Structure 1
Amino acid sequence: MKVTEFSLPLARPLETARGEITEREGFVVRLDPETDDVPARGVGEATPLPGWTESLSACRAALEERNSGTAVAGANPNSAIPASDAPAARHGGALALLDATARADGVPLSTTLASEAGFPEPAETVPVNATVGDDAATATAEAARSAVESGYRTVKVKVGARALEADVERLRAVRDAVGESVRVRADANGAWGRETARRALSEFEALDVAYVEQPLAADDLAGHATLRAESGVDVALDETLAEVDVETVLDADAADVLVLKPMALGGPDRAVAAARTAREAGVEPVVTTTIDAVVARTAAVHVAAAIPDVRACGLATGDVLASDLAPDPAPIEEGSIDVPEGPGIAGAAFDDVR
């Protein structure tokens, strides 16, 4: 296994729960038939984001630990990288192994993922949502209108930073701007208490908001379950999955939608398995990223394609980076992404990534 560290500047600083970040740091993971027990070349990416995954140093240590032995063993992704406490590291190893397997089979990664999950043939295109940040009502509506004019059919609006009345006004302006046929979502990032969240979902129902993402704190499963029972607006959980596993969320009846991040879950294979588990429980999965570089971001497109009839996914994150590891083989066009035909993640598109 060859591991190469990288650092990519962001186009603009990103505020997270752990402070502002200005770059994304991670590792490109490479497997080669001449040195590793794999059937073809494979490339992966491990880009940790503290709060969602292990730290950069812990990710480096996990990769070094795995690399201190001999070749990566067999075709089981769980044997490639420590699984329990280093999800980003495992993602890098699992993705490289899956890429190698798909390349050897001459099929796109999405085909391999769908087959392993028992899903039918994957989709050729994936719908994507546009994300509209926090701004005054007029500017928010204009941004949403512009996204729809560019071809997006789903718009997600950031809420929770302002008074609830202001967010209701913003969403009303968005609905007026985009019309009734466009799906509108809201993302509160855990900003509200239970009473505010209850009032918010009551107000948003009249505006035909499809779902509210993370209305309450990540650890408030009971509160989310109550919101689901009392509201006509679906509840989606995102940050919660950084703290508890999918099965715990499902057992608590806390979500109508799960926002799956392959890097945080420990690999594309785990993300597709989580989607299957969610579907079996009557919960819808959508796929997004942790602001990853192009290798992992393209793999996330394959994850979404492997999930039958997936809803619009949060994969329009490439423009957050000022530069990338390679040209994007899966650009967004008119609100959707054509899945690379492969084989693997994107054929030989990432062979020169260092």
Structure 2
Amino acid sequence: MSTVALPPLADILATARVVALPLAARFRGIETREALVFEGPEGWTEFSPFVEYTDGEAATWLAGAIDFAWNAAPAPLRDQVRVNATMPAVAASEVPRILARYDGCRTVKVKVAEAGQTLADDVARVRAVREAIGPEGRVRVDANGAWNVDEAERAVHALAAFDLEYVEQPCAEIEELAELRERIGYLDIPIAADESVRKAADPLRVARAGAADLIVIKAQPLGGVHAAREIVALAGLPAVVSSALDTSIGLSMGVALAASLPELDYDCGLGTASLFTADVVASPLVARGGALTLDRPRPTSADLDRVAATAQRREWWMDRLRRCYAVLELTPG
């Protein structure tokens, strides 16, 4: 987890605020994204594990948040990071409206395999994206592990006509990814692993198993920028730095990670602030010319008041913070 000594809980609570950001389109089954933000010696940071995660899993996110607030970020190797647009599982007719929220992005990640939808819905959405960005644009799809191997093989064949850059987490299990990679190898469509890294007890297992061509890295869920950098180095695979639908504060953590990596061959999934209709700062960290700068947001009290969660949700998050902090207190090292 984090390499920083655990600060006193009181130091975190002193500045902790809970926010609720409305979305321009339903994403991951939610219409509002909640997060807890707080300030440390290095600046503002974010604790935002999804609400369904256990305290044990969420504690790693807290370690990542503390790392970003109390440890200096690694030296950057670039002054901006190119990012992709993210397309929720909307109807094909909604694609132009969502893409209009992104400035200059040459790559689009399209959510597929949404519960209650069909492969025909996915094909229509991906076709609409390809038509909107033209033949020079890059299209990647993300199934969040929802397909079995047969379903994934059938879907990849159906979507291959749209010149996919890669398919992200088509299946949930590493063994399934390895089998699918063998089945579709002749199509020359790479497989990216996300949940098989982010939610795994051993984030390097997918690389050792030869089950993916690249890995998707999220700083907060992996224990912070420094821990994520180490995973990238040990995996020996190309990496895409992505977000977990973070606020602009959380996105700046991902940008710090991406800017510090020696190699960054793919546009990163850090443009998701464009999906919010309000954010924690007046000038959100959104793509301009398809890229993000290394700016670290500094919200004012008024900024945070504007997107404050209800008192009930604030108490829920504060209780969660205390529980996860207790988990970290019991974590060796």
Structure 2: where are the runs of 5+ without partners? 1-6, 305-333
RCO higher in structure (CA 8 A, sep ≥6): 2
CA contact (8 A) 1:237 1:255 kept: yes
Inter-partner Cα distance in structure 2 for 1:183 and 1:277 = 28
Which amino acid in the other structure matches residue 43 of structure 1?
G
Q: Please report how far the alpha carbon of residue 276 of structure 1 lies from its aligned counterpart in structure 2 after TM superposition.
A: 2.0
Superposed CA RMSD = 3.0
Q: Which residue of 2 aligns with 1:243?
A: 200
- Percent sequence identity is 29
Q: In 1, distance between residues paired with 2:286 and 2:89? A: 25
Kept in 2: contact 1:192–1:216 (CA 8 A)? yes
Q: Residue type matched to 2:43 in 1?
A: V
Distance in 2 separating the partners of 1:198 and 1:128: 28
Displacement of 1:320 after TM fit? 4.5
Paired residue secondary structure (1:258): strand
Aligned partners of 2:281, 2:169: CA distance in 1, in Å?
A: 33
How do residues 15-34 of structure 1 correspond to structure 2 at under 5 angstroms? 16=28, 20=30, 22-31=32-41
Deviation at 1:151, TM superposition (A): 1.1
Q: What SS does structure 2 have at the residue aligned with 1:206?
A: helix
SS state at 2:162 partner: coil
Corresponding residue number in structure 1 for 2:17:
6
Query: Following the alignment from structure 1 to structure 2, what is the Cα–Cα distance between the partners of residues 335 and 124?
Result: 13
8 A Cα contact 2:86 2:272, kept in partner: no
Following superposition, the deviation at residue 326 of structure 1 comes to 3.5
Q: Which residue of 1 aligns with 2:144?
A: 189
Conserved 8 A contact 1:9-1:322: no
Conserved? CA contact 2:106–2:133, under 8 Å: no
Q: Judge which range, 169-178 or 228-237, deviates more.
A: 169-178
* Mapping for residues 110-259 of structure 1, pairs under 5 Å: 110-111=74-75, 122-140=77-95, 142-143=96-97, 146=100, 150-161=103-114, 162-217=117-172, 220-231=173-184, 232-240=188-196, 241-259=198-216
What are the superposed Cα offsets for residues 208-239 of structure 1, whole Å, 9 maximum, x if unpaired? 1111112112xx11111111122221111222
Structure 1 residues without counterparts, runs of 5 or longer: 32-41, 59-83, 100-108, 115-121
Q: Trace 1:188-337 onto structure 2 (pairs within 5 A).
A: 188-217=143-172, 220-231=173-184, 232-240=188-196, 241-278=198-235, 280=236, 283-307=237-261, 308-321=263-276, 323-328=278-283, 330-337=285-292
Q: TM-score, normalised by structure 1?
A: 0.70
Query: Deviations 1:179-199 (Å, cap 9, x if unpaired)?
Result: 221010111122222111011
Q: For residues 22-42 of structure 1, what are the alpha-carbon distances to aligned partners after superposition, in whole Å with 9 as ceiling and x for unaligned?
A: 3423241423xxxxxxxxxx2
What CA distance in whole angstroms lies between the structure 2 residues aligned with 1:350 and 1:159? 34
Contact 2:81/2:267, CA 8 A, preserved across alignment: yes
* Distance of 2:286 and 2:178 partners within structure 1: 37
The question of whether the paired residues in 1 share the 8 Å contact of 2:239 and 2:264 is answered with no
TM-score (norm 2): 0.74
Comparing 6-15 and 181-190, the one that deviates more: 6-15
Kindly indicate whether the alpha-carbon contact (under 8 Å) linking 1:204 and 1:233 is maintained by their aligned counterparts in 2. no
Shift of 1:9: 1.3
